[in-house]
Amino acid sequence: MLIDDDRSLHAYMRRIMKEAGYEFCGAMDGLSGLEMLVAEKPDLLLLDVMMPGMNGFEVCRTMRESGRRIPVIFLSAKGDIVDKSIGFNAGGDDYVVKPFSSDELLLRVQAHLRRHRDDLAFARAVSREGSRVTGELEILFNQYEVYLRGEPVNLTAKEFEILALLAANPGQVFTRAQIYEHIWGEDATVDESTITVFMRKIREKIEDNPSQPRYLLTVWRVGYKFAEQVG
C-alpha cells in the first residue's frame, strides 16, 4: 500500500508492483490512508513523509498506536529528513530517498516482507519464555509490553524488538550488524549506525541515567548486551 499525494507516483508504483507480482492499493492523504489500512490490511506500507494535513510521521505513529506491526518504508525527498530518528521513533522501518530506482525499492520491499514473515530468530526468542524480569524492568515478549517499576514504557515496535532480542539472550553480546540482521533482515540496506540511534532512544525510556545504563550495556568496540543481573 502507498500513501502519497503525488498521483503520478501512484501510477508508477501500481505498475512496478503489479509487474513484480504484488497486489497494490493507495491513498492520497493520511486520513483516508488510515481508513484504507483498516479495510485493506496490507502487508507493507510505503509512506510519504511530507503531505498536506497529516504528515507521514503522524500517520505511522497513529498506525503503530493502533497495534498494526507491518513494515513501513518512508519515501522522502532529501530535504524532508532533518533527523531520521524522528521517523524511526514514530515506528518506521526504512527510508527510500526520491527519486529512487524501482530495483532498489523492490529489493527493500522484498527484504522487509521476508523479515516480517520469517523473523525466526525473534520468534525463537519469544517462544522460549513469555516474559523476563531484570531489576525493576519487566518485558512481556508476546504482548510487546515493557514495564519499569510497574509503569508502562512506551516503545515503538522496532525499539521493543531490539530490546526483546537482547533481553531474551542476557549476557550475549550482539554486534550492530547482528542486531541489524535479526531485526531488519540480512538484505536490508539501512546504515548500521541506526542501531546507535535506537539504543539511545531505548535507554532514554528504560534507564534512570542513560549515560550510565544498567540494562542495555555497551561492549566497547563490539556491540551491546542485556545485563544478566541488575544490582
Domain ranges in the chain are 2-117, 120-226
Band of residue 168 on the pLDDT scale cut at 50, 70, 90: confident
User: E strands, the chain, where?
Assistant: 2-3, 26-27, 45-48, 72-77, 94-98, 131-134, 137-140, 145-148, 151-152, 174-175, 216-219, 223-226
At residue 194, does pLDDT exceed 90? no
Q: Is 223 helix (H, G, I), strand (E, B) or coil?
A: strand
pTM of the model: 0.55
Average pLDDT, the chain: 86
Q: What is the mean pLDDT of residues 42-62?
A: 92
pLDDT at position 179: 85
Residue 191's contacts (CB-CB under 8 Å, 6 or more residues apart) are none
pLDDT at position 20: 95
The values of phi and psi at residue 99, to 5°, are: -75, 150
pLDDT at position 151: 94
pLDDT at position 83: 64
At residue 187, does pLDDT exceed 70? no
Beta bridge partners of 75: 48, 96
pLDDT at position 221: 84
At residue 115, does pLDDT exceed 80? no
Q: What is the mean pLDDT of residues 159-165?
A: 91
Band of residue 219 on the pLDDT scale cut at 50, 70, 90: very high
pLDDT at position 129: 59
At residue 106, does pLDDT exceed 50? yes
At residue 2, does pLDDT exceed 80? yes
Question: What is the fold, at CATH topology level, of the domain defined by 120-226?
Answer: Arc Repressor Mutant, subunit A (1.10.10)
Question: What CATH number does the domain located at 2-117 have?
Answer: 3.40.50.2300
Q: Flag the least confident range among 48-52, 82-86, 208-212.
A: 82-86
At residue 123, does pLDDT exceed 60? no
More confident residue, 47 or 80: 47
At residue 126, does pLDDT exceed 50? no
Extract the C-alpha cell encoding 63: 498506525
Q: Flag the least confident range among 46-50, 64-68, 83-87, 154-158.
A: 83-87
Band of residue 78 on the pLDDT scale cut at 50, 70, 90: low
The CA angle 145-188-177, to the nearest 5 degrees, is 75
